[in-house]
Amino acid sequence: MTNFKNIVATGAVCIAATASAVFAGNPDVGGAPMYASKNIIENAVNSADHTTLVAAVTAADLVDTLMGEGPFTVFAPTNDAFAALPEGTVDALLKPEAKEQLTQVLTCHVVGADAMSTAIKGMIDDDGGSHVVPTLGGCMLNATYDGDAIMLEDEQGRMISVTIADVQQSNGVIHVVDQVILPGK
């Protein structure tokens, strides 16, 4: 009987530790918990820091895509990142006649893979210090890192920093970034 109790107790501890790891692994983003069991859109709509991104994804009709099976890696710019663009840029991109341009900008933030920061760093190391990351929008981003900080250089030569990495989703991963990634001119 003692062995049975020990086995049950050990099993309960293992289950609790596994459940705790699954839920504790994701940081809060924009003041909201991010759940690995929800998809990219289901989590993003709860982040107070990503309301502009959600509005842009909606205007570009990309909601269903980012709720899809994936896997996707999304470099998710914050509201402050959108606000840092030249005045009037966001309003112009959200107009129906700019949908094609908005779609290209947004899909330059999406990679068709589930790329956690350790995998990105591994690719950077394998390539001698930088790795070219092709996006679904056709942009080529140059990824590097310094310590734990991953940086992406967009096609305009701007450096974008990952501020929150490895936010697991049911259909991929989100990395929060401090700037909007722009395609080449």
Q: Encode pLDDT of 46-59 as tens digits.
A: 999 999 999 999 99
> 38, 37, 40: which is closest to 62 by C-alpha?
40
Rounded Cα–Cα distance for residues 28 and 35 (Å): 9
Rounded Cα–Cα distance for residues 78 and 69 (Å): 24
Calculate mean pLDDT across residues 161-171. Answer: 97
pLDDT value of position 121: 97
22-44, pLDDT tens digit by residue?
A: 444 788 899 999 999 999 999 99
The DSSP code for 185 is -
**pLDDT score of 17 more than 80:** no
Alpha-carbon separation of residue 158 from 32, 33, 52, 151, 184 (angstroms):
29, 30, 20, 10, 10
pLDDT value of position 10: 36
Calculate mean pLDDT across residues 54-83. Answer: 97
Q: pLDDT tier at 185 (50, 70, 90 boundaries)?
A: confident
Q: pLDDT tier at 126 (50, 70, 90 boundaries)?
A: very high
Q: Decide which of 124 and 26 is more confident.
A: 124
* Domains in the chain: ranges and CATH: 2-177 (2.30.180.10)
Q: pLDDT tier at 125 (50, 70, 90 boundaries)?
A: very high
Q: pLDDT tier at 184 (50, 70, 90 boundaries)?
A: very high
Calculate mean pLDDT across residues 86-109. Answer: 96
Q: Decide which of 2 and 110 is more confident.
A: 110
